Structure 1
Amino acid sequence: MREFIVEADGGSRGNPGPAGYGAVVRDAATGATLLEAAEYLGVTTNNVAEYRGLLAGLHAARTLDPAAEVHVRMDSRLVVEQMSGRWQIKHPAMKPLALEARGVFPPDRVTYEWIPRAENKHADRLANEAMDAGARGERWSAEGSTADLEAGAPGAGEAPGGEPRLGAPGRQQSRGPGERRSTARGWSAAPDLGAPATLVLLRHGETPLTPQKRFSGSGGTNPPLSEVGREQAHRVAEALAERGTVQAVLASPLTRTRETAEIVAARLNLDVVVEEGLRETDFGAWEGLTFGEVRDRYPDDLNAWLADPAARPTGGGESFAETAVRVAATKDELVTAHAGRTVLLVTHVTPIKTFVRLALGAPPESLFRMELSAASLSAVAYYADGNASVRLFNDTSHLR
């Protein structure tokens, strides 16, 4: 029985916006590229484009051998988890696409694997070529594609026997529209590392504890949004929809962040992915208390906490140093998984301040020098070489 690897991707320049997909079928034994597919889709969402890429790859594999086994590799965790049956499919636009995908091959002959975006360059480039062609009013053509060469794919441009692959003879590596080469470092003239991963950081809306300025972390009562908080979430949802750049929504597992994220995601026609690393610091015995109450009850512990990022709150909470390690690990995973994309992270005060602090290379005490309002937006862009650019901080203009 033949075995194929299908790599697929889809993108939307805006969400929804001009969209396209790309897919490539490889021989599992040799890694050689057997078929490519790409298409401009017009205006649709990023998730729909990803599913359309999956469908194109599966159908391409079926044309080669309907009896084959297929291993699908995608950088869309949403598609991989839904097609693997671990996540529910809630969005009505994606349900028929997923159903069609399950019918191309018998389910027991298809497996799914999530891969970082950096390992999916061939399909990603095909999707961008299709979108570029659509912007020119043209159809994508394999004859002009450089996707496999730019991705450095095994067997690129060759058939399994080493002969030039159909549609690939004499192709030279080239750069896509708008891409440029630069040796300068820094956010204003970044190296030629492609588009950054842009993390848009949204603090959740108000809860009943927010106006009282009480410690509210991972170990407290897990309060929901107040009516004011829900209104704030709707306002930020409208602002983000108007910008039209967010391609995925991730949220801390706590109630207030999930409620905020669900309101925003519904407006953007996206699903919410829960990310454990985005949870707030655990403030131990200080949960639910004001700063003044903590100072009166635990003065020595509070002074130690203010002086040392490794000090924990009373009662075995989480130190800022421990939070920083968790947030840094989460940041690395997200930057790898979402290179070139704009992702909304709905989280809390300490994680957002930590994302910004790490991007600036600022000391831990800088956390006490930042003010972060409920339902505020901040943004940090991360490049492949580790450089970061703080684009926005504590923006509340959408609430006025």
Structure 2
Amino acid sequence: MSRAARQRTLIVEADGGSRGNPGVAGYGALVRDPDSGRIIARRAEPLGVASNNVAEYSGLIAGLTAAYAIDPGARVEVRMDSKLVVEQMSGRWKIKHEDMKRLALEAREVAQAIAAAGGSVSYSWIPREKNKDADALSNDGMDGRSISEDLWETADSGDAVDVEEPEVSAADVVADADAEAGAAAEPVQAQRMSAGRERPVRLLLVRHAVTDFTVTGRLDGRGGPNPDLNDEGLAQARAVAAGIDAKVGSLPVRFIASDLSRAQDTIRPAARARGLEVEVDPDWDEQNFGEWDGELLRDLVQNKDFRRLRDDEAYAAPGGGETHRELVERVRGALGRALASAPDGGVVVVASHRKPIMVVLADLLGIDLTHAWMLSIGPASFTGLELWSDGHGTISFVNDTNHLRAR
């Protein structure tokens, strides 16, 4: 008998959702035996705060991984009601957002493993009403439930269930494509967070130590001169290392910093003391202040437009500046990635800047931009959080500078 004649076929149905887009998110996926119609694997996980697109891709990855576990060399037919994911994974639509590029790459790696084992993966779009089982599992995920059931070993018992091949009309495709195009315009806020963890992730946010710009009161964003720490800042970095050691102890740690040198240099002594490298994530960078970068704050406060920057989420400084909304979008994504790869039972230390730290706190507290400015976050200070996978958490301390006074 030829390989084609005996090759097994598996159907993957996957979905994901976000209550708020971005909001509390979760995914669901299942593997179905096409001959009997039985569901032989079920998956669901909460994702914390994420977008619909991230949730849908996460469901796809879970479904492919489950299919690979059942039969690495199977012919896998993926069915999803996300036109965006189906078209992107089929190579017909480009993937623009970096977060989705990473998730699509992860899905392709699983698909390549299936192909390497002699199998194949194909993708087809189905209407939402044909994807109800995966949708129900994604709602389980959004409700905070983790499901991982492998049922293929008991699949010989019970009655078979007929599986309808989806009947897709042109109107269905057009309507869903329009909806997905709108979703694609939404920025991806976060990758998969610490889904399924039984305890929160401990996060220690560190504002960078002082530079000459900090001392003289000059604005310095992600597009500015990027000054190094001065002598005082280097001394603060040593104190930060001692403070991290006191707070973390022997727990496993992951060190992350923005792309700006002052943030990396602030926690590098702490990382080196543990034999670790500082990982760089540019989405933790300070806001881009356009042509105002390097200007004295005392001069800018006389500018009416500068007051708009403080109060208007949609306003960007002239010369290529960044709006507060744009800053929020990328910081949420950076936070999601940090939490997703947190060491189990350990701490994630992130060296960043005033406004990104302000964004994290404001999101958790549910306060607007005007009130967020009231949060004091001094140079080389610590802010401690404990965050659950559903986006909720506790603020343990803010603007802690005790380690600086101890030096």
TM class, shorter-length = 0.5 to 0.7
Contact 1:359 1:380 in 2 (8 A): no
Assess if the C-alpha contact under 8 Å between 1:202 and 1:344 holds in 2.
yes
**Residues 132-171 of structure 1: pairs in structure 2 closer than 5 A:** 152=148, 154=150
| Whole-angstrom distance in 1 between the partners of 2:350 and 2:215 | 23
> 2:240·2:267 contact (CA, 8 Å) conserved in 1?
no
The secondary structure found in structure 2 opposite 1:265 is helix
1:290 equivalent in alignment to 2:286: no
Query: Which position in structure 1 is the counterpart of 2:258?
Result: 252
Cα deviation, residue 330, structure 1: 1.8
**1:348 aligned partner:** 353
- Tell me how far apart the structure 2 counterparts of residues 332 and 392 of structure 1 sit (CA, whole Å): 20
| Aligned-residue offset at 1:286 | 1.3
Residue of structure 2 in register with 1:375 after alignment:
380
Distance in 2 between residues matched to 1:239 and 1:368, nearest whole Å: 26
Quote how far apart the aligned CAs of 1:29 are: 5.0
Verify: 1:229 aligned to 2:233, yes or no: yes
Shift of residue 246, structure 1, vs aligned partner:
5.1
Q: CA deviation at 1:28?
A: 4.8
**2:30 maps to which residue?**
none
Question: Corresponding residue for 2:276?
Answer: 270
Partner of 2:218: 214
Which amino acid in 1 is paired with 2:215? Answer: P
Q: Is residue 324 from structure 1 mapped to residue 364 from structure 2 by the alignment? A: no
1:363 paired to 2:403: no
What corresponds to 1:14 in structure 2?
none
Partners of 2:253 and 2:348 within 8 A in 1: yes
| C-alpha spacing 1:368/1:352, structure 2 compared with 1 (3 Å) | same
Change (3 A) 1:286 1:269: same
Tell me which residue corresponds to 1:177: none
Residue 241 (structure 1) shift? 1.6
1:153–1:344 distance in 2 versus 1, CA, 3 Å: farther
Measured in 2, the distance between the counterparts of 1:369 and 1:342 equals 27
Structure 2 equivalent of residue 176 of structure 1: none
Segments of 5+ residues of structure 1 without an aligned counterpart are 1-25, 33-76, 78-107, 110-149, 163-191
Aligned mates of 2:71, 2:383 — CA distance in 1? 42
Deviations 1:24-58, CA, capped at 9 Å, x for gaps: xx9955279xxxxxxxxxxxxxxxxxxxxxxxxxx
Contact residue 356 and residue 380 of structure 1 kept, 8 A: no
CA–CA distance in structure 2, aligned partners of residues 27 and 325 of structure 1: 33
- Are 1:376 and 1:396, in contact at CA under 8 Å, matched by a contact in 2? yes
C-alpha deviations, 1:196-221, integer Å up to 9, x for none?
12221001111111111211111111
Secondary structure at the aligned position of 2:233 is classed as helix
TM value normalised by structure 1: 0.52
Q: Deviations over 1:328-376 (max 9, x none)?
A: 1222232233275420011111101111111111111123201111110
Residue type of the alignment partner of 1:212: T
Q: Could you list the runs of 5+ residues in structure 2 that have no partner in the other structure?
A: 1-65, 73-101, 103-115, 118-145, 158-195
Q: Give the ranges of 4+ consecutive aligned residues of structure 1 lying more than 3 Å apart after TM superposition.
A: 26-29, 150-156
Query: SS state of the match for residue 210, structure 2?
Result: coil
Confirm whether residue 240 of structure 1 aligns to residue 244 of structure 2: yes
How far apart are the structure 2 equivalents of 1:205 and 1:332?
Answer: 24
Alignment map for 1:332-343 (pairs within 5 Å): 332-338=336-342, 340=344, 341-343=346-348
Cα shift at 1:261: 2.5
CA displacement at 1:293 relative to structure 2: 1.3
The C-alpha deviation readout for 1:235-278, integer Å capped at 9, x for no partner, is 11112123323510011011111112322211232221111210
**SS of residue in 2 equivalent to 1:261:** helix
State whether residues 309 and 365 of structure 1, in contact with CA within 8 Å, keep that contact through their aligned partners in structure 2: no
Change in Cα spacing, 1:151 to 1:233, as seen in structure 2 (3 Å) is farther
Q: 1:220 to 1:29 in 2, by over 3 A?
A: closer
Q: How does 1:122-137 map to 2 (within 5 A)?
A: none
- Deviations 1:137-189 (CA, angstroms, capped at 9, x unpaired): xxxxxxxxxxxxx9836379x79x99xxxxxxxxxxxxxxxxxxxxxxxxxxx
Letter of the 2:373 counterpart: F
Residue 257 of structure 2 contacts residue 278 of structure 2 at CA under 8 Å; is this kept in 1? yes
The structure-2 alpha-carbon separation of the partners of 1:311 and 1:153, relative to structure 1 and needing over 3 Å to count, comes to same
Q: Tell me: higher relative CO, structure 1 or 2? Use CA pairs within 8 A at least 6 residues apart.
A: 2
Aligned to 1:202: 206
CA offset digits 1:105-151 (Å, max 9, x no partner): xxx99xxxxxxxxxxxxxxxxxxxxxxxxxxxxxxxxxxxxxxxx98
Question: Per the alignment, do residues 247 and 151 of structure 1 end up closer, same or farther by CA in structure 2, a change over 3 Å counting?
Answer: farther
| Distance in 1 of aligned mates of 2:324 and 2:252 | 29
- 2:230 & 2:252 partners in 1: Cα distance? 25
Percent identity over the alignment? 28
Aligned length: 233
Q: Could you tell me which amino acid in structure 1 is paired with residue 341 of structure 2?
A: A
Q: Residues 377 and 394 of structure 1 are in contact (CA less than 8 Å); yes or no, is this contact kept in structure 2? A: yes
Q: Secondary structure at the match of 1:270?
A: coil
User: What residue in structure 2 maps to residue 122 of structure 1?
Assistant: none
Q: Equivalents in 1 of 2:390, 2:313: separation in Å?
A: 27
Q: What corresponds to 1:392 in structure 2?
A: 397
Equivalent in the alignment of 2:310: 306
Q: CA deviation at 1:385?
A: 2.1
